[in-house]
A = this chain, B = another copy of it.
Amino acid sequence: MMTDDLRSLDAFFTPDTVAIIGASREDGKIGHTILENFVHGSYDGAIVPVNPEADEIEGLQCYPSVGAYDGQVDHAVIAVPPAVANDVLQDCVDAGVPAVTIVTAGYEEIGAAGEKRQEELEEIVAGTDTRIIGPNCLGIWDAYSGVDTLFLPDAKLDRPPQGSIALISQSGSFGSAILDMGAEMEIGFSRFISYGNQADVNETDLVQWLAADDETEAIAVYMEGAHDGREMYDRLREVTTDIPVVIYKAGKSGGGAEAASSHTGSLAGSYSVYKGAFRQSGVVEAKNVEQLFDLSRALAYEDTAEGEDVAIITNGGGFGVSAADYIEAYDLSLAEFTDETREALEDVLPEYATAHNPLDVIGDADAERYRKALEIAARDPNVDAVLSLVLLQPATMSDAIIDHLQSFKEEYDKPLVSCMVGGAYTGERLRELEHHHVPTFSTPERAVAAMHALREYGLWEDRPD
């Protein structure tokens, strides 16, 4: 359900016309980078550079103010020095711009002088129809509309492919670094929002908007402290009925919370309160940076698990042993195969293999033996979910395994989490599986943590009313 209040955020993501206030010809300037993003990226709406000292930039007519442009501006990006940012914000309000992203820093995050500036900013928009993201943020990167206010150099920050994970981050540097990390893993994203000082739009608004977004299947959140904890809790309880939300909360420790307070001005609050609130509102908590992606990918790509009994299929015995350890550590169980399953497995395995879970199909297995074992195990009624651990190093294990995993995903209802450990050769296959939405991880622990998230969210989905 999308309220008018939330619909007012649409203009941030799908504007027909954007204005870049502080657009610059000068390479290296923030206003130059942002203009270039829109001109040379996939955005195909109208672009209005605003700069009183230029007639034309990048072949586009330049305007002295946003009000000087004849048509409707849907989304204005403010990238001017802090001393004049509030003045141009006033211009935006006067021109009836519904969405303004203020990347300019120098507000409450710098202490007393900035606090006054932020109060002025809040007064300017109070009671108007103008919504604000920022100030002191990177703003928005939208994989579908091409909106891209990230002003970090292209060469240093790759943009990921289109996909279904939305990422929102209170910290711009944290958000951009992990977006960059995700790009290298070729994880598909829908939108990324760095919301900075949240003078207006906050993490709760964004989570609600993303929950109603057709392109988004899971929401990953980095936060230090909530704008309004109670409000967030109530909204999360609603949102998580429709879409998984994974949160990495920083500022858990005494020292971390103190640092958060000087970093984003957040009251990080008691971690145990957050932890309890997450659990009771169906949020899946990420314990570290990797899990923010790992759990989101599993939840976006796979069905939840209907029980905790997992079958492990591997061609590397050691990794089977290691994964079995994590199954226990993450409160899951090793499924007990039925007699029928064991007999069927014995037919396809060499006699020196044991038809036991974790199932080691042996290092000399080819992709076909592996596929048969995987499917037999998956059909076992005692098996709720399948963890596939494939080592690609053996000569016998061909790339056919990649196709088999994709087919399995299409043909079987049980959730599949996959793991492949290795270097460059393996990395390429990880990326290929990612494109096909088979959630694949580089270590057994990461895979089992993802499996645990599928069970945890499954329990939330099935909770009594």
Contacts and interface: CB of A to CB of B under 8 A. Distances in A.
Interface string A158-183: 10000000000111111111101111
A358 B421 contact: no
A253 interface: yes
Interface in A289-336: 289-290, 315-322, 324-325, 327-329, 334
Contacts of A180: 393, 421-423, 425-426
Given A421-B178, A422-B180, A443-B288, A356 B262 contact: yes
Given A259-B358, A318-B222, A395-B153, A423 B171 contact: no
Contact of A259 (B256, B315, B324): B324
A177 B251 contact: no
Contacts of A183: 423-424
Contacts of A289: 322, 421, 443-445
B111 A320 contact: no
B172 A320 contact: no
A255 interface: yes
Interface residues of A, number: 86
A260 interface: yes
A317 B360 CA distance: 45
Interface string A432-449: 000000000011110000
A318 B109 contact: no
Nearest to A329: B253
A354 B321 contact: no
A136 B94 CA distance: 78
Contacts of A111: 352
Most buried by B among A109, A394, A442: A394
A181 B430 CA distance: 13
A263 B178 contact: no
B184 A427 contact: yes
A107 to B, nearest CB: 10
A71 B219 CA distance: 68
A393 B253 contact: no
A36 interface: no
Given A288-B445, A421-B289, A252 B325 contact: yes
A152 interface: yes
A256 B422 contact: no
A279 to B, nearest CB: 19
A355 to B, nearest CB: 10
A329 to B, nearest CB: 7
Contacts of A158: 423-425
Interface string A204-231: 0000000000000000001010000000
B356 A324 contact: no
Which 7 residue pairs of A and B lie closest in terms of their CB atoms, listed nearest first?
A: A171-B318, A174-B318, A173-B316, A184-B423, A110-B352, A263-B317, A253-B328
Given A174-B322, A181-B442, 18 more contacts: A106-B352, A152-B394, A153-B393, A156-B394, A156-B425, A157-B425, A171-B321, A173-B363, A174-B316, A177-B422, A177-B426, A180-B422, A255-B357, A258-B356, A262-B317, A263-B320, A264-B318, A268-B321
